[in-house]
């Protein structure tokens, strides 16, 4: 197994919607994890994961054997006797190996329950000092617990703010088309949806609560 010190962040490829866009995120300094079907996706596209893990219940025994013969490290678990999804297992493993920056690709797909559960992982990661980001072809999702600086990104022109707690107070936006100052956003409100970052950089800051920052495109 390669030393975690030789990599600056962890990329996790999981079993949701993946495509060629997901390969553009890879940097030579990344530690790459394939969770279940995500490992098959990587190998099929010529990328050797440093770690493949999961119950692998969505692939055939032959595909699993192929993954095992190529990947640097394989961790398997029983599909029934486990408490967490493959994505959560991968996030926990990345954090346990010392990564403070983790990106999950393919965390969103046709299963809304899995997608929402993966969004909730942002809170768990934050509590353990990890900066977790979920990315798919149309969305980038992060958690703001204090202040978050955003760079303009034409690929994701819209920015939405949604509370992950019952309310978020002191919400202040700088650099956006629709600014806010010391605002309160409550769970169930749509006030923070579909803003636009107009400056080269912008900031989202809050006083209390947990705020989802979702950048997206149609």
Would you list the domain boundaries of the chain?
4-137, 143-216
Q: What is the mean pLDDT of each run of 10 residues along the chain (218 residues)?
A: 65 93 93 93 95 86 88 79 81 95 92 92 96 96 97 94 97 96 96 95 98 96
Q: Which CATH class is domain 143-216?
A: mainly beta
Task: With beta carbons less than 8 A apart as the criterion, state whether 203 and 149 touch.
Answer: yes
* pLDDT tens per residue across span 109-121: 888 998 999 999 9
* pLDDT tens per residue across span 32-67: 999 988 999 999 999 999 999 988 877 788 888 888
* pLDDT tens per residue across span 116-135: 999 999 999 999 999 999 99
CATH of domain 4-137: 3.40.50.10240
Rg (CA), the chain: 18
b (16+ CB within 10 A) / e for 82-113: eeebbbbbbbbbbbebebeebbbbbbbeeeee
pLDDT confidence of residue 79? 55
């Amino acid at each position: 197994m390669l030393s975690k010190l030789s990599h600056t962040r962890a990329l996790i490829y999981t079993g949701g919607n993946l495509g060629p866009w997901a390969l553009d995120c890879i940097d030579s300094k990344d530690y790459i994890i394939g969770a279940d079907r995500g490992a098959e996706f990587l190998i099929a596209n010529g990328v050797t994961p440093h770690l493949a893990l999961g119950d692998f219940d969505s692939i055939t025994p032959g595909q699993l054997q192929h993954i095992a013969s190529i990947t640097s490290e394989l961790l398997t678990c029983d599909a029934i006797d486990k408490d967490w999804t493959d994505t959560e297992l991968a996030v926990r493993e990345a954090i346990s190996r010392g990564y403070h920056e983790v990106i999950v690709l393919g965390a969103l797909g046709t299963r809304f329950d899995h997608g929402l559960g993966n969004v909730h992982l942002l809170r768990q990661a934050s509590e353990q000092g990890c900066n977790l980001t979920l990315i798919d072809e149309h969305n980038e999702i992060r958690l703001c617990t204090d202040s978050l600086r955003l760079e303009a990104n034409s690929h994701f022109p819209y920015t939405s703010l949604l509370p992950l707690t019952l309310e978020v107070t002191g919400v202040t936006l700088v650099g956006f088309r629709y600014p806010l100052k010391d605002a309160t956003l409550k769970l169930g409100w749509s006030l923070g949806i579909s803003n636009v970052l107009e400056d080269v950089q912008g900031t989202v800051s809050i006083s209390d609560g947990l705020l989802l920052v979702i950048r997206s495109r149609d």
